[in-house]
Amino acid sequence: MNGKVYIVGAGPGDVGLLTVKGLKCLQRADVVVYDFHLNAQVLNYISHDAEFIYAGKRGGQHDMTQDRINQTLVEKAKEGKIICRLKGGDPFVFGRGGEEAEVLVDEGIEFEVIPGISSSVAAAAYAGIPLTHRAYSSSFAVVPGYEDVTKKESSIDWARLATGVGTIVFLMTVKNIEQVCKKLTENGRKADTPVAVVRWGTRADQTTLVGNLTTITDLVKENEIKPPAVMIVGDVVKLREKLKWIEHKPLFGHRVLVTREHSSGFELLEELGAEIVEFHTIQIVPPDDWSELDAAIDKIDTYNWLIFTSVNGVKFFFRRLRERDRDIRDLKGVKICAVGSKTAKIISAYGINVDLVPQQFNAEGLIEAFTVGRDKPDLQGMKILLPRAEIARETFPEKIRKLGGEIDVFTAYKTVKPEVHGKRMKRFLKAGKISIATFTSASTFNNFIDIMGDDSLDLLKDVTIAAIGPVTAQAIENAGLTVSIMPGRATVDDMVEEIKNWGFHNKTRENRS
């Protein structure tokens, strides 16, 4: 039996603008055929092994011709696979989605179209320009701007378009902008009609120029605006100065690199205008050998304290507890300590009360929590189980043993360097597209340097670096780089708060200048 093809619009660039239905399709696809003009971060939402086929389609230079794309969709569908044909914007707005759908019909292959948000609408909205407004325009048209306007027979009725529509949106028009402006004025549009050109609309490097039909061409040349860009013609452009909402956000224009496996916790930065770029430099996996932790689980009732220093430690411990045919009832009488509010929260989700959360979320905070209030820091008779990462600081275990306590430190999980290549990330760094790099452990930094290769330190020299705590900062500074952002407590929430403060400070300084 044939498979099925979903022709999906990925939106204009901001991954948050991908529709829920499009996301569901992406997550269940066997094959993803995707274009250049979409945010590749959307591919991170695929949690299983899928085949990725890059179709290119960048500024007229195609890695695959349209005929070859059509053929690929047919071939993969006839193999019985679910294909997600992922296109920037909306597939039926100058996206050749209709042509691809025709081929599928001719081949008897089932398909479905999942609309996306077109850049014609989104770029204007993110620039603070409503396409319609009762005081300025009650109609709009979307027109391709790449057509050779000098040819005798044009598919565009310039006479009607120039004066018959309130707002005109031109897509892919940078190369022809001078001729387009000329055609409009020649056909009756006033020369002083406001015009905006929005490059990379909805992305971190969104740039907006405002002029009129007489001046916009020179402005585009002076500012070296290249595709992709959207041109908006009409009186609604006058509203931009009042409505340019996203540019007031403190982190607008910033791309934040997240190097850990999951970017949860960094969402606030997106609310503040930043674009999150995930590049995982560590992967969390089970240990090679469970024997030590298994032995501890089998005698869990002999421990006074069970300490969790991370969310991963909690998840892997309880997963193994279940695999050993045990459950939370076996923890009766064992006190629970959680390092960090998020760790405590996930423990509570298992229906277990947390007895102790240190004020400092590190080894020093743990030591203080277990010794404060004692006349003598004597831990004789105390038995502690600490399931944690394979590689971690020994400060706390050593201190407990010195004070007479007994502590078993066993591996519940380990971090490994994933099999990834850094070509795209190198391009981003070389082009100055990353402004903040975050590292949540020494491993995330060291693996990043290893993946990037010989010029890794040079690539980061102009990037603001945020470290989650002093151990991570030390690893970064030992490599010769400067840490500019570090929270007082070693949590993602606190690091995000410091990045937010950094953004507000820089925004204020920018406004003053």
Nearest residue to 442 via CA among 403, 472, 466, 462: 472
Q: What are phi and psi of 263, to 5 degrees?
A: -95, 10
Nearest residue to 34 via CA among 13, 15, 46, 52: 52
Query: What distance in Å separates the CA atoms of residue 191 and residue 185, rounded to the nearest whole number?
Result: 6
- Concatenated DSSP letters for 274-300? -EEEE----EEE--S--HHHHHHHHTG
> Which structure tokens are listed for 447?
């693996």
Nearest residue to 35 via CA among 96, 81, 79, 107: 96
Is position 172 annotated as part of the catalytic site? Answer: yes
Residue with tokens 């020179």: 218
Query: What distance in Å separates the CA atoms of residue 386 and residue 337, rounded to the nearest whole number?
Result: 10
- Concatenated DSSP letters for 300-326? GGG-SEEEE-SHHHHHHHHHHHHHTT-
Give the three-state DSSP class for 256. Answer: strand
- Concatenated DSSP letters for 139-179? -EEEEES-S-TTSSS-SS-HHHHHHH-SEEEEES-GGGHHH
Query: What distance in Å separates the CA atoms of residue 321 and residue 333, rounded to the nearest whole number?
Result: 16
Is position 157 annotated as part of the catalytic site? Answer: no
Nearest residue to 381 via CA among 300, 303, 308: 303
Neighbours of 151 (CB within 10 A): 8
502: CB partners within 8 A, 6+ apart: 436, 464, 484, 485
List 172, 425, 452, 495, catalytic entry: 172
List 14, 35, 90, 494, catalytic entry: 35
Query: What distance in Å separates the CA atoms of residue 123 and residue 231, rounded to the nearest whole number?
Result: 9
Residue 285, CA distances (Å) to 282, 312, 313, 396, 416 in order = 10, 10, 11, 24, 7
Query: What distance in Å separates the CA atoms of residue 146 and residue 154, rounded to the nearest whole number?
Result: 12
β-pairing, 194-199 vs 207-212, is: antiparallel
Q: What are phi and psi of 485, to 5 degrees?
A: -130, 125
Burial of 353: CB neighbours in 10 Å, binned 0-12, 13-18, 19+ = exposed
Nearest residue to 215 via CA among 183, 188, 192, 186: 192
List 4, 14, 57, 399, catalytic entry: 57
- Residues serving a catalytic function are 35, 57, 172
